[in-house]
Amino acid sequence: MALNDWVQYFIEGFPVGCVYALVAIGLVLTYKTSGVFNLAFGAQAFLSAAVMYELKQRGWPTWLCFVVSVFIVAPLFGLLLDRALFRYMRNSSWVVKLVSSLGLFVALPEIIKALLTGVKPQFGPPSIASLIGMKDLAGSDGVFQIGDYVVSADRMTIVVVTLLSVVLLGVLFRYTALGLQMRAIVESFRMVELAGVDSERVSMAAWMLSSFLAGLAGVLIAPDLGSIDSIPFTLLLVAAVAAAAFGRLTSIPFALLGAAILGVGQRAIIGLSYEYKWPQNIQTGVRPALPFVALFLLLIFLPAFKGRRDVTDPLSGVDPPPPAMAHEYKDRSLAKTSRIAFYVFIAAFLLLVMFAMSDVWVFRFTDAFTLAIAFLSITVFTGLGGQVSLGQAAFAGIGGYTTANLAAENHWPVLLALALGVVFAVIVGALLAVPGLRLGGIFLTLATLAFALMAQNIVFTNASVAGGPEGLDVPRPSFLNGSGFLGPDQRYFLFVFLCFAVVGFLVIFVRGGTTGRYFAALRGSETAAASIGINGTRQRILLFALSAGIAGLAGGLFAMNSSRIDFQTQEYQALFGAAWVVLVVSLGSRTVDGAVNAAISFVLFQWLLSDYFGMEASIALIGFGFGAITYARHPEGIVEFRTRVSILAQRKAKLLKARAAELAVHGPLPRGYLPTRNVTLPAIAGPLVLLLAVIVRRIAGSGEGAPVPLIVICLAPSVLFALVYIVMTNRRLVAMGGFTWSWSVLAAGGVLGVAAGWFLTAVNVRTPDFGSPEVAIDAPVWVGIIVGLICGFAIAAFFMVPVSAEAVARQRDFRTHPVTWRAGRGPTLWIVLGTFFSYWASKGWVPPFLWPLYLLGLVAAIVFVQWIGEVQGGVNELVMGEVDVAPGVPLAEDALPEELPELAELAPAGGGD
């Protein structure tokens, strides 16, 4: 009997294994050829399945749906990924590639859901069995009879298609030029280029092929899954990774074998659990978790992954080195100013939260700072340790459930429970570090993902852990309750903020201290670190324990924040934890302010999108997923990048000022030199006055909002000033040798702007939401024309003036251009956004309250003024000569102050200029 059962398991499990194998092969293909471990692979499978489903719903014939979704959409998507994204990452480190694909992993399913399938799962995906004749081959009841066993046509199709694909791939790799080139490119794409082969063509082919495999797998497995829903497809990835790991990420036959074992094993668990009457949660938990468990065990125990490093490119010296940290560019006075600004900012912020904000906002900021603590655990793990963990949510869960159980079930004091939760997380972290020691890079990341999924599916689903469906109630510390000077929510916020501040300082201290230096040494070179006596094992355990402890603390606080948690609590879910990493790393994983910015922007964006503008909250994930993609350009994080840019601009301005002072002694300054401040202050004055007036009106009780005359009176001078500035600057640039035709461009911008303004306010159009045609923006036509004139002219200038400056710089043999067309992107985006809001507002949308709009307006004003500052900085450099503030050539008096230089970097970014 037992043998019969196993044959049955095999017949039912093997086809699933085949799909795993297809995904695994595609995964290995792109990993080997481009070094990108494409975590979004499951999402790509989902894409093809969703396209196929949608087309079928529209009544297309099945073969056409199949061809379009698998042979057209999937390869094109692979092409897109390569062309638009991963091509630019070839020189990047594995972290960059991983985080970018993690961004896709988070964003792609949301995009597909938003565009194609909707949020809810769709049922009854089409099958391709009849296409390849399997339905005809099968018996009359649509199944294959093999002896006593029955195989459905769908499953037979999977097996046949997979085996065929594997054979074809084998031939491709073994016997064709393309296959040979793909194998060679693994080692070094630059060496392939030197051999005369277009490496971009090869990697493009690899991406298209692997994406095709993903699509094929998605379409094949869809009937078996029974629904089109993002999560099972996304997790298909984990099973595939486990299978690929079985083949040590190189061998396709072994990957196939591993996939078959997984598929059959999953089926066998169902059978065995019935036969031996296993407990319920093993039955429901282990089967879906088997791939995670298998992946975890494989990574830990297969010797192939031990201390494995990616093959080093012998030509990697071609890559530019990473930039130094922003605060290293600061000089003494700048560091001092920003430190003072930092304390003032913190004090103002706390006062604002304490006394001026409603309880809802206090709650939101409490949430944000709890999240910031969780993010600091990523700052430690990734920023200090140089590794990427997707398991932070699991550690948060460990901390949270421990706290909740001790406090709610056993009535311990909640702070003691919290402390124990942290201790427990630390212990689990240290224990995980021991097997994790052997792994490096991407493999450690995968193991942490498997760990988080295991914890979520096996441990947290336990009623004794998470209190079952009704969950657990978590009290807040009792000393925060009761009446007093501040409300309990405010006091709780202070408590959380204090926790955050303590953890933040600890992170800074650790980074500046011995541990941080040892981590830096290990990041730089593990062998060299060992050669001077650094115990890598101990450091690695410390890293895990420290970061797990911080995550555990955040988990406990999450539990207190929401006062009730259950097994579905979002903050403890593995995929949510993956989104955290994307956020932190793209905003800046090396600094505390990166974590704070990530947390606050996450909370604010979710609120803005869902409560304020009434969109899906998951849209935020799309935004942040794409944010991760910018990481490729700025691996140090966006916050860090912006800080560096602004610090460098300030230093340049300073050097130019010093040069000007020198020149002033001898005679007149060159025409065109103006301290940047002289142009930015008048431009920002108007918006600031407006903001002040609005606040005064609010306090005086004359209601929210600003009457139109006030807006015009405040803004008109600033706008006028900016327009005059643009004209003057362009004239000067033309005189210096810039493009004379820039005038025509500006004029054309103005004309187009007038046309657009007239069109939007005068012409009846059919807008998406409204049946009868009407004007897009409900405003007098003359207003539309004037605003359009200004905006069109400005947009043309945003790009044209920097381009003109670039041309002048080129004529003068500048090595770096002081300002480029890129400066125009930001302000243009804000004009487009503003137009969109106007359209929306004139269609009857009334914001629940106005001040977020003022905030957005202020940000827009800052962006415009930044543009003016950048351009004037560029012009200054053009007339005064090139200024070099390259790293590593610090000016003598610029040495940083010895005491606590790190405090300076806590200051909010972009506050400068």
Nearer to another protein, 365 or 518 (CB): 518
Residue 442 CA to residue 307 CA, distance in Å, equals: 11
Give the separation between CA 205 and CA 218, rounded to whole angstroms. 20
Q: Which is nearer to another protein, 93 or 461 (CB)?
A: 93
In angstroms, what is the minimal distance from the CB of 718 to another protein?
35
Q: Which value, in Å, is the radius of gyration of the alpha carbons in the chain?
A: 30
Q: Footprint of another protein on this chain (CB under 8 A)?
A: 177, 180-181, 183-184, 186-188, 190-200, 311, 314-315, 317-324, 505-506, 509-510, 512-518, 520-521, 523-525, 527-537, 542, 546, 813, 815, 886-888, 890
Report the first-to-last Cα separation within the chain, whole angstroms. Answer: 78
Cβ-based nearer residue to another protein, 284 or 630: 630
Q: In whole angstroms, how close is the CB of 249 to another protein at the nearest point?
A: 13
Rounded-to-integer distance, Cα 604 and Cα 606, Å: 5
Kindly give the pairing relationship between strand 472-473 and strand 564-565.
Answer: antiparallel
| Integer Cα distance of 634 and 325 in angstroms | 12
Least gap, CB of 761 to another protein (angstroms): 47
Q: With contact defined as beta carbons under 8 Å apart, do 687 and 715 qualify?
A: yes
Instruction: Report, in Å, the least distance between residue 740 CB and another protein.
Output: 24
Identify which of residues 180 and 302 has a Cβ nearer to another protein in the complex.
180
**Please, which residue, 450 or 529, has the CB nearer to another protein?**
529
Least distance in angstroms from the C-beta of 902 to another protein: 10
Identity of the residue, 141 or 884, whose beta carbon is nearer to another protein in the bound complex: 884
Q: Which is nearer to another protein, 72 or 184 (CB)?
A: 184
Nearer to another protein, 494 or 520 (CB): 520
| Cβ pair 405, 465 in contact under 8 A | yes
Q: Is the dihedral of CA 638, 639, 642, 648 positive or negative?
A: negative
Please state the separation of Cα 372 from the chain's center in Å.
15
Shortest reach from residue 71's CB to another protein, in Å: 27
User: Residue 769 or 813: which CB sits closer to another protein?
Assistant: 813
Q: How far apart are CA 110 and CA 112, in angstroms?
A: 5
Backbone angles phi, psi at 177, to 5 degrees: -60, -40
Minimum CB distance to another protein smaller for 93 or for 562: 93
Least distance to another protein, CB of residue 184, Å = 5
Question: What are the phi and psi torsion angles at 123 (to 5°)?
Answer: -110, 160
**What is the rounded distance in angstroms from the CA atom of residue 289 to the CA atom of residue 453?**
7
Least Å distance, CB 429 to another protein, is 14
HSE-CB at 284 with a 13 A cutoff on CA atoms is 8
Helix (H) or strand (E) holding 765, with range, is strand 764-765
Measured CA to CA, the distance from residue 572 to residue 471 in angstroms comes to 14
Half-sphere exposure of 87 (CA within 13 A, CB side): 17
Backbone angles phi, psi at 534, to 5 degrees: -85, 130
> C-beta of 27: minimal distance to another protein in Å?
19
CB of 813 vs another protein, minimal distance in Å = 7
Q: Which residue has the tokens 């004090």?
A: 347
Q: Which of the 8 DSSP states describes residue 669?
A: P
Nearer to another protein, 59 or 196 (CB): 196
Cα 164 to chain center, whole Å? 37
What's the rounded Cα separation, in Å, for the pair 295 and 724? Answer: 64
Nearer to another protein, 537 or 563 (CB): 537
Query: Which is nearer to another protein, 737 or 890 (by Cβ)?
Result: 890
Q: Which one, 410 or 531, has the nearer CB to another protein?
A: 531
Pick 541 or 791: Cβ nearer another protein? 541
CA separation for the pair 407, 475 (Å, rounded): 7
Q: What is the smallest separation between the CB atom of 882 and another protein, expressed in angstroms?
A: 12
For residue 90, how many other CB atoms are within 10 A of its CB? 18
- Contact by Cβ (8 Å): 608, 852: yes
- Taking alpha carbons only, the member of 140, 167, 144, 169 closest to residue 155 is 144
Q: What is the smallest separation between the CB atom of 487 and another protein, expressed in angstroms?
A: 32
| Minimum separation from the CB atom of position 310 to another protein (A) | 13
Q: Which residue has the tokens 């009535």?
A: 411
Closer residue to another protein (CB): 399 or 516:
516
Q: CB of 906: closest distance to another protein in angstroms?
A: 14
CB of 653 to another protein, least distance (A): 19
- Looking at this protein, which amino acid is placed at residue 863? V
What is the C-alpha separation between 376 and 503, in angstroms, rounded?
8
Which helix (H) or strand (E) is 521 found in, with range?
A: helix 514-524
Q: Report helix, strand and coil shares of the chain as percent, to nearest 5.
A: 75, 0, 25
At closest approach, how far in Å is the CB of 912 from another protein? Answer: 20
Cα 878 to Cα 100, 729, 809, 811, 874, distances in angstroms: 37, 12, 7, 10, 6
The runs of H, that is alpha helices, within 437-535 are 442-454, 463-466, 488-512, 514-524, 526-531
What does the H/E/C string look like for 791-831? HHHHHHHHHHHHHHHHHHHHHCCCCCCCCCHHHHHHHHHHH
